[in-house]
Amino acid sequence: MLVFAVETSCDETSVCIMKSNKTILSHIIYSQEIHKKHGGIVPELASRAHLEILQKITKTAFKKSKINPKDIDIYTATCGPGLIGALLVGSTFAKALSIGANKPFIPINHLEGHLFSSSFNNKISFPHLSLLITGGHTQIYIIKNKEKIKLLGETIDDAVGEAFDKVGKLLGLKYPGGKEIEIKAKKGDENYFKLPLPLIDKSNLNFSFSGLKTSVNLIIKKNKIDNDFVNNMSASFQKCVSEILCFKIERAIKNLINEKIKLSSISVVGGVANNNYIKSKLLNITNKYKIKLILPPKEMLSDNAAMIAWACIYKYNKKNANIDFKPNPRLTI
Ligand code: ZN
């Protein structure tokens, strides 16, 4: 079975042609450059850019994989959550192709795309805990099986990736700031600035990152910004974020142990899982409890169409076809 998937929930325009046996015939991810000069994503510009880029990369994907649109068995696209204009462009494009080829269209939840991405290259046994860390989401889920996915906690304000990008902007770093902060942090002293650990004293599994950004801003206003400052603040901020994530994951593990639920693995999914420092700290926690830490393939961490194609293959079939599904910017699991 051949699946053609489109992902346009935010500022990545991506298409993928995947066989149901996991062979990726073509996978193209285009990161929109237009937002760099604005230091953040401008929704209207994202929608326009998706419209321009989608047709080009779709042509390339079919040409490279030597597949004809009529050979595709299922067309699929992200239908939420995300920016509504961006979701409309991608889903309408995939729906139009499905109508043209007279094949079914299956809507996919972007969050399921991320959560199932680690099952592409790992054998998953249930129940399984998942930490989703991206520019739009910071959530902890327990996945009891493909159908039963429960949200245990999430950010009450900014997402972790968003906090990285905003602090990067405050420090005068290039957009996206997350990558830059990890590079600068390597040269800095992570104990130089003492930053707050929001919600750490609360017994729930929720996160808050906006206060952290405000604290960074207050320190910036009182100091001279030179290379040492940027390096030390990058390292201190990264350490602080990592401590918050580790604290909440450890609390989730302890809660499940109390409930006598035995976890075999914890997955870390989403673009922030590219951060090697955070990964190594999370690994310390999972090693302590003898739980396996698993990650999706690198190309399936940041927003991408391969995870959408795979979520479609992993969980759904032609019975789930629904061309009338309306994209929902606030779609949940
Ligand atoms: Zn995402």
**What is the reported pLDDT for 203?**
87
DSSP states of 247-290: HHHHHHHHHHHHTTPPP-EEEEESGGGG-HHHHHHHHHHHHHTT
CA distance 263 to 252: 11
CATH tag, 2-114+302-320:
3.30.420.40
Sheet holding 138-143, edge to edge: 149-154, 138-143, 128-133, 265-269, 292-294
Q: Helix, strand, coil shares of the chain as percentages rounded to 5?
A: 45, 20, 35
- Cα 80 to ligand 1 centroid, rounded to whole Å: 10
- Cα 144 to ligand 1 centroid, rounded to whole Å: 21
Task: Provide the token pair at 217.
Answer: 């801003």
- Cα 226 to ligand 1 centroid, rounded to whole Å: 33
R_g of the chain computed on alpha carbons: 20
pTM over 0.85: yes
**In this structure, is the dihedral angle defined by the CA atoms of residues 206, 209, 327 and 101, taken in order, positive or negative?**
negative
User: Tokens 């399936």 identify what position?
Assistant: 300
Q: With contact defined as beta carbons under 8 Å apart, do 108 and 311 qualify?
A: yes
**CB-side neighbour CA atoms (13 Å) of 61:** 27
* pLDDT tens track for 120-153: 999 999 999 999 999 999 999 999 999 999 999 9
CA distance 264 to 14: 32
Amino acid identity at 122: N
- Cα 303 to ligand 1 centroid, rounded to whole Å: 5
Nearest to 46 by CA among 297, 303, 271, 312: 303
- Cα 12 to ligand 1 centroid, rounded to whole Å: 9
- Cα 234 to ligand 1 centroid, rounded to whole Å: 23
Domain boundaries defined on the chain: 2-114+302-320, 124-295
Sheet holding 24-31, edge to edge: 24-31, 12-19, 2-7, 74-78, 105-108
Do the two domains 2-114+302-320 and 124-295 of this chain adopt the same fold? yes
- Cα 271 to ligand 1 centroid, rounded to whole Å: 7
Segment 207-225 mean pLDDT: 95
CA distance 53 to 45: 12
**What is the reported pLDDT for 323?**
97
Cα 317 versus chain centre, distance: 24
* pLDDT tens track for 60-108: 999 999 999 999 999 999 999 999 999 999 999 999 999 999 999 999 9
- Cα 272 to ligand 1 centroid, rounded to whole Å: 10
**What is the reported pLDDT for 202?**
85
Nearest to 85 by CA among 10, 26, 196, 154: 10
- Cα 7 to ligand 1 centroid, rounded to whole Å: 9
Which residues have CB atoms below 5 A from the ion given as ligand 1? 134, 303
- Cα 157 to ligand 1 centroid, rounded to whole Å: 16
- Cα 186 to ligand 1 centroid, rounded to whole Å: 26
Q: Grade residue 176 by pLDDT with cuts at 50, 70 and 90.
A: confident
CA distance 49 to 267: 32
- Cα 3 to ligand 1 centroid, rounded to whole Å: 20
Q: With contact defined as beta carbons under 8 Å apart, do 251 and 108 qualify?
A: no
- Cα 133 to ligand 1 centroid, rounded to whole Å: 8
**What is the reported pLDDT for 86?**
98
Nearest to 107 by CA among 181, 191, 9: 9
**What is the reported pLDDT for 264?**
85
Pick the CATH number of 124-295 from 3.30.420.40, 3.40.440.10, 3.90.1150.10, 1.10.3720.10: 3.30.420.40
Task: Provide the token pair at 273.
Answer: 């899982």
User: Considering the chain, what percentage of its residues have pLDDT values greater than 90?
Assistant: 94
- Cα 219 to ligand 1 centroid, rounded to whole Å: 31
Backbone angles phi, psi at 16, to 5 degrees: -150, 140
